[in-house]
Amino acid sequence: MTDDQPDTAGDLAIREPPRVLVPIEVLEGQTIPQSLVAFLAPAELILLGYHVIPEQTPTEQASMQFEDRVRAAVDDIAASFAEAHSDVEERVAFTHDREQTLDRVADEIDATAVLLPNPTGEIDDILVPLRDVVDVDRLADLVSTLVDGEDKRVTLWDLTGDENTALLDQSEQTLRDRGLADEQIRTESDDVEFPTRAIVDRSDDFDVIVMGEGEQTLLTTVLGDTSERIADGAVAPVLVVRRERSEDGDDEDS
Amino acid sequence: MAESDQTNRAGESPSTVASPTAVDEETTVTEEGSELERSIGLVGGLSVGIGTMIGAGIFVFPGIAAGQAGPAAAGSFAIGAVVALLVALPASELATAMPKSGGGYYFVSRALGALPGAVVGISVWLGLVFATAFYLVGFGSYAAAVLAEAGIDLGGAGVVVPLGLVFGAFLTGLNLFGTENAAKLQNYVVGLLLTILVLFLGYGGLDAVGIFGQPSAPESFLPFGPMPVFTTAALVFTSYLGFAQVATIAGDIKEPGRNLPLAMVGSVLIVGVLYVVTIFVATSAFGSERLTAFGETAMVEVARSFFGVPGAVLILVAGLLATISSANASILSTSRAVFAVSKDAIIPKYASRMNLKYGTPHVALAMAGGPVLVLTASGEVQVLAEVASFLHLVMYGLICVALLVIRRDEPEWYDPEFRVPAAPVVAGVGAIASFGMIAFMQPLSRRVGAAIMIASGVWYKYYASDVSLKGVL
């Protein structure tokens, strides 16, 4: 997929326009709020309708019975995106393992970010928790690409527990460089014991959370990805910015 | 290609969900373009194969087999392993060319046509039902032994069948309503079992050759002559049915070209070695007569003779886990076997309906669990085992024939990633060995098996004789 490489001409650390994977468990009645669709207007959307089945059921058997319904539901959702996105790519998957499918499709399409949907209203307040130094550039670049109006406010929240504010300063500077006004940016830093829970607790004050994917650790292998756990607990949708992948699809830092 | 007038009595025709050529390492792509995720890796595939097989060969058969063939029962298990390998290789090639749910039924129906396909498909459904019932009786024996060890008296030998029945119903229910993924659990159970067995057999094997004590040579190798070695091989072949179950989940295996052959051949090799060593250890600890008297739980007494009560308890627990994992894996395979024939309109399509709330194939699971309970109630370990083997061996023989037929005139779509070396020889000997093994079974088992096959053929003629599947993808 040579045409999917990030366009570095605009000196962004992400591809331009960004590509966002929108996974929806359609038969569970999951939907995407229109305000979120509008917020994502600067990005290309890939809509993945998926259906998770227990392992005692062959995927083939599930597709025999449900394929038409899933495809129809995905078509409907894509049609409802038409105002903001004229050309949404649609994909349908049947799986025993949701995370495996999301990871695979995100790799295949070289997604900049994956949306973990939750209900939300008008999008004005954006929370950007900073947890580690990985790919802060990509995070800031995606936020600045999506925040195109004067009316949206971004809260950068440093949760590294580090006295050094370089990370925060760098992110703030990137947002300014990309055209955000000073009054749109707020910075905070806290040293909390459980960042995941702290983010979940603040989620109802914001309309969307944009965060980095984080690193794979033993803990995330046992408990599941941090972003997934936040999306499960949070009131707001979570947009997870993926790490930079090398050309063969592997993580660069592994 | 399927004509639209090829319908069964209910007017249903075979469904093509995805062509076997639309397969890559991680997904199958359906005709409409949906992706079917493959989520089982090599470890998962091996664990299905080993988990299905190990319960029977180590925890149920040693006492019975030694009683029939003496220490030469080790040879019976070795014969079984060779026959299983001769079939596992052709099955692997066919599975990499057609990595779809349905396994042996799919290969036979596509290579040889709908009638042999229907006979194999329906027979294997019932063959798996017999196998599951056999594992459940084995489970009942272990559960009863656990109760006895714990000093709980429920009235002697009469509890084996009721315990098997209760657990059979429980497993069926679990699969109907359980949506928690248990595959990882199965991997750990199989890993734990292998660890226990390697430690136990390692110590027992060293002891038997005289490292720790006096070398024991309690009796002659062939106390009953050579013939029982073959009849016993036919009986214990049930311990090798699991590798074909790997083919039934081929549609879920990642990198099928690599993982299917490795999982099928690897699981046969691993359990084959364990079985032979088990018999060696068991017959060096006790004479054949003692082992026979211990019956299905003979290994518990063998462990007791080496390690006292802790050894006995460990093997009891292992036996429970092993028979549970065998029974559960077989119930799942049965439901897939039902789906495979139902998808092709050989039996009513209704059988492949899924439960909306749980997403489970409730009709197929009921068609597995229901008959299993009826057969478990019979409590006839040897007949259950032999009929299961009979019905599988017919399929194995036909899988070999299918490979010969396909190789002779390869269809355009046929592009297996794994090719059997010297295929005509391997598949030819495999077919003869599979059919030949049937000759050594008890007359009753052969009659029951043959009756089921004839009934399957009659059903096809009655219900689905217009359906033709040869070369249909």
Answer for the pair B149, B70: CB distance below 8 angstroms, yes or no: no
Which pair of structure tokens corresponds to residue B13? 């025709």
Å between A115 CA and nearest CA of chain B: 20
What ipTM describes this predicted complex?
0.85
Instruction: Provide the pLDDT for residue B92.
Output: 94
Q: Does this chain's domain A15-116 share its CATH topology with A125-241?
A: yes
Q: How close A103 comes to chain B (CA, Å)? A: 12
pLDDT digits (tens, 9 = 90+) for A94-105: 999 898 999 999
Q: Using CB atoms and an 8 Å cut-off, which of residues 88-127 of chain B contact chain A?
A: 100-101
CB contact under 8 A, A97 and B359: no
B255 pLDDT higher than 50: yes
| CA pair distance B199, B214, nearest whole angstrom | 20
- The predicted pLDDT at position B365 comes to 92
Range name among B7-11, B13-17, B76-80 with the lowest pLDDT average:
B13-17
Q: What is the mean pLDDT of residues B364-383?
A: 91
pLDDT reported for residue B269: 96
Please say if the pLDDT value at position A212 is more than 50.
yes
Q: What is the mean pLDDT of residues B204-213?
A: 73
Options 2.60.40.10, 3.40.50.620, 2.40.50.320, 3.40.50.300; which CATH number does A125-241 get? 3.40.50.620
Domain annotation for chain B: domains and CATH numbers: 40-463 (1.20.1740.10)
Q: Which residue of B has its CA nearest to A67?
A: B34
Residue B159 has pLDDT above 80, yes or no: yes
* Both structure tokens of B372: 């299993």
pLDDT tens for A74-86 read 999 998 888 777 7
Mean pLDDT of chain A: 84
Contact A71 B34 (CB under 8 A): yes
Categorize the per-residue pLDDT at A4 as very low, low, confident or very high, splitting at 50, 70 and 90: very low
Q: What is the CATH number of domain A15-116?
A: 3.40.50.620
* pLDDT number for residue B115: 93
The first and second tokens of residue A198, run together, are 């702290």
In A145-204, the residues whose Cβ lies within 8 Å of chain B are none
Nearest-Cα distance to chain B for A138, in Å, is: 28
Domain ranges of chain A: 15-116, 125-241
- Strand B35-37's sheet: what is its strand order? A185-189, A153-158, A125-130, A208-212, A238-241, A113-116, A19-24, A44-52, A89-95, B35-37, B27-29
- Whether A2 shows a pLDDT value over 70: the answer reads no
- Confidence class for position A224, pLDDT limits 50, 70, 90: confident
- Condensed to tens digits (0 to 9), the pLDDT of residues B55-70 reads 878 888 988 898 888 8
**A120-134, B108-122, B209-223, B306-320: least confident range:** B209-223
Tell me the average pLDDT across B423-444: 93
Task: Kindly report the pTM of this predicted structure.
Answer: 0.86
The pLDDT value recorded for residue A6 is 45
The average pLDDT across B11-39 equals: 82
Q: What is the band of B38 on the pLDDT scale with cuts at 50, 70, 90?
A: very high
Q: Is A64 in contact with B178 (Cβ distance < 8 A)?
A: no
Band of pLDDT at residue A232, cut at 50, 70 and 90: confident
pLDDT in tens, B298-356: 889 899 988 888 889 999 999 999 999 899 888 888 988 999 999 999 999 899 898 88
